[in-house]
Structure 1
Amino acid sequence: MKPLKVLQLLPALDSGGVERGTLEIARALVSAGHESVVLSKGGRLVEQLQREGSRHIARDLGRKSPTTFLQYRALRRLFEQERFDIIHARSRLPAWVAWLAWRGMPAHTRPHFVTTVHGMHSVSRYSAIMCAGEHVIAVSDTVRNYIRTHYPPSRWPHLTDDRITVIPRGIDPTEFPRDYQPSDEWLARFHAEFPQIGQRKVLTLPGRLTRLKGHHDFITLIGKLVADGLDVIGLIVGGDDPKRPGYAKEIRERVQAEGLGERIVFTGHRSDVREIYAISDCVLSLSSTPESFGRTVLEPLAMGRPVVGYAHGGVAEILRGLFPQGAVAKGDVDGAAKRIDAVLTGHADSARTAHQFSLAQMQAATLLLYANIASNPQLLSSTQ
């Protein structure tokens, strides 16, 4: 098969799961001899993208303004000039502009249009653009079920089951190696920064300080375990949400009001999350709404660290495959406390190896999908 020329579109290249996945696929394309191009307004990851062999086109398609839609003509000219084989949209507003540009091209000359549904957005005409691809990638069975429920073929005739492919996100086992041990230097620095940890059992809740991540349940859980006589400390690993500073203030005040200031530590945003997973006796996932995937569950499990979490959405899929004894019903703090006690007292099995969620598998499945789409002239069709 001839080398492909693939364009991925997203708002920016700063940080986050969508951005990470974009770079992972770009790297795989280059490694396989294809041409990889990414369009975004830019960001701190552009340098890495280019260093790894991809080309970056700077264009802001993520600004929420009616004028953003007017860029579709310029984008269509770009498509015509570059002659991409695949256009892969990963976010709603860039997907709209790309679709408007793509739709106006002659069917026999335009590239194939692919979308990835990374999250379960509110159901609306605006969100529906992520199902307008000739082929749609779902990052989990949960997301596929969401698509089938809210965007049925009766309303979206092109979106038949064979045009939806589940490709779970993957992690690199060299980045999160099983049984990883931090260096003595890191351990000394971390314990000096957070001396409250001492010899206590460490329970970690990763994620930005937003209401959906379950921090109030985490505070309740730590208080319950301490009251039951367990010598634990809770780490809340994640930065404040700049858009909602009141929530961070709210949970910090609750920690102090309940006398848990020495038992719950706010680490802020960290770049050493791998090391924090490694020293954690148990990692928690307490999101109040179902996650589309659950990378912060998969990462510690891949390292062999136990995870206790609310079993809904993508988290339920990962726990079912790798650590079923860690699954509890949403909101069941008492059940979570019992599972944590079993983990801390050695009455839980080890996490299974995360073969089915490897980065290599995710990359290979995506490139295979690109190849199949590019070699299928019958796929070209108009979409809603």
Structure 2
Amino acid sequence: MAEKKLTVLQMLPALEGGGVERGTLEVAEALAGRGHRSLVISAGGRMVQQLEAEGSEHFCWPVDRKTPWTLRLIWPLRRFLKEQGVDILHFRSRVPGWVAYLAWRGMDRHSRPRLISTVHGLHSVSAYSAVMTKGERVIAVSKTVQRYILENYPSTPPERINLVYRGVDPAAFPYGYKPADEWLTNWYKEFPQLRGKKVLPLAGRITRLKGHHDFIDLIQMLIEDGMPVHGLIVGGKDPRRLAYAEELQEKISSLGLQGDITFTGNRSDIRDVYAVSDLVLSLSTKPESFGRSVLEALSMGVPVVGYDHGGVGEILKALFVEGLTPLSDIDQLKNRVKKLLNSRCCVEKNKVFLHASMIEKTLAIYAECSR
């Protein structure tokens, strides 16, 4: 029997960049590639061009605004769902989730789309966040998220929760990847201070929860122990938290580490950055729902040391248990990093958290719901 062609609408706040956005684009590309109609509603952003180039249709709606005004979109969305013949309505965040859920709930139950939600984050537990569990199917991006739902929203039937790990495409982050000579030449022109050093990046947006203070303390301790290391803070400054970035720079200056820690800003070449790194750090002080940057580095065979909690701990337990270290214990963190830098550790190939598996499981849920 031929596969039923579906019209799938995904909703998220915006398409500027991040894990939720990348997951949306990956599913959208797979849908379009298989002949389904892929629609996305968001407030727009720099990833819209890629989304449309890969075969999806984008509709720019202000579903990123956390104000009661946004609920005015319920009635236009209800009309949109009918006019476009949407079979699957899939929301991935709370504000668009409330618009989607309330629009869907007011439709005829025999003709409305099937409703799916994906819980990408460990949101504060509240009636506002509870909308993420309102899908007829609720996708959890990790076992950490699955436990979070069951513990904090016990009214959610366990059989409605589907575990679908986020995944990395081995072609995008190849095991053993080496950068091109031209890239290396340009890299060392830009950052000559890295020559002859053990390079340790901490990747992610510069926000307080990412553990930058622990990272700075780690670099200081390693240097005091005679280790030839250089720390990289890889990621853009959050416009709403510029004072935090200044706080980090002041701390680095006060410790005399200006020549030992470099802010690289956002990098579109993160794969190459990982490839020239000796060890990647993940030091979020709050548990993360998944930990894509950890998985990307491990998929390339680059060792990672991360705090043993949340999705990061989950990934390390599966792929590189040697990289686990207790939360916020700086001495143990230092000892773990030193041990790995002084040994020839080997990271197993990623066979668990794969992009293809994530796509197949998500599309299978769509197909099952639409029967």
Give the TM-score normalised by structure 1. 0.94
- Counterpart of 1:129 (choices 128, 131, 136) is 131
The alignment partner of 2:363 has SS state of helix
Q: Which amino acid aligns with 1:367?
A: L
1:81 corresponds to 2:83: yes
Partner of 1:380: none
Superposition map of 1:1-384 within 5 A: 1-153=3-155, 159-348=156-345, 350-375=346-371
Q: Give the total of aligned pairs.
A: 369
* CA distance in 1: counterparts of 2:334 and 2:328, whole angstroms: 11
How far apart are 1:183 and its partner, in Å?
A: 1.3
Give the letter aligned to residue 270 of structure 2. V
Task: Report how far residue 47 of structure 1 moved.
Answer: 1.4
Question: What secondary structure, in the 3-state scheme, does the structure 2 residue paired with 1:149 have?
Answer: helix
- Aligned equivalents of 2:166, 2:92: Cα separation in 1: 13
- CA distance in 1 between counterparts of 2:344 and 2:221 reads 20
Partner-residue secondary structure (3-state), 2:248: helix
Mapped to 2, the partners of 1:270 and 1:290 lie a distance apart of 24
Counterpart amino acid of residue 359 in structure 1? H
Q: Secondary structure at the match of 2:240?
A: coil
Q: CA RMSD in A?
A: 1.0
CA distance in 2 between partners of 1:61 and 1:240 (Å): 24
Q: Show structure 2 runs of 5+ residues with no match.
A: none
* TM score, norm. by length of structure 2: 0.98
Give the counterpart letter for 2:274 in structure 1.
Answer: Y
Deviations 1:314-362 (A, max 9, x none): 00110000000000010121112122112211253x1111111111110
SS in 2 for 1:243: helix
Distance 1:7 1:265 in 2: 41
Sort the Cα spacing of 1:347 and 1:178 in 2 relative to 1 into closer, same or farther, 3 A: closer
Residue identity matched to 2:320: F
Following superposition, the deviation at residue 9 of structure 1 comes to 0.5
Measured in 1, the distance between the counterparts of 2:319 and 2:309 equals 15
Q: Which amino acid aligns with 2:244?
A: Y
Identity of aligned residues (%): 53
**Structure 1: how far apart are the matches of 2:355 and 2:282?**
22
Residue 33 of structure 1 and its aligned partner are, at CA, apart by 2.0
Identify the range of structure 1 (69-78 vs 35-44) with the bigger mean alpha-carbon deviation.
35-44
Q: Distance in 1 between matches of 2:64 and 2:215?
A: 34
Distance 1:338 1:31 in 2: 48
Unaligned segments of structure 1, at least 5 residues: 154-158, 376-384
Amino acid at match of 1:44: R
| Separation in 1, partners of 2:185, 2:100 | 50
Q: Secondary structure at the match of 1:56?
A: strand
In 2: Cα distance, 1:203 partner to 1:35 partner:
43
For 1:221, the aligned partner's letter is: L
Bigger mean CA deviation after superposition, 216-225 or 180-189: 180-189
The runs of 4+ residues in structure 1 deviating greater than 2 Å are: none
* Deviation of 1:65 (Å): 2.0
Paired residue for 1:378?
Answer: none
Structure 2 CA distance, aligned partners of 1:110 and 1:150? Answer: 28
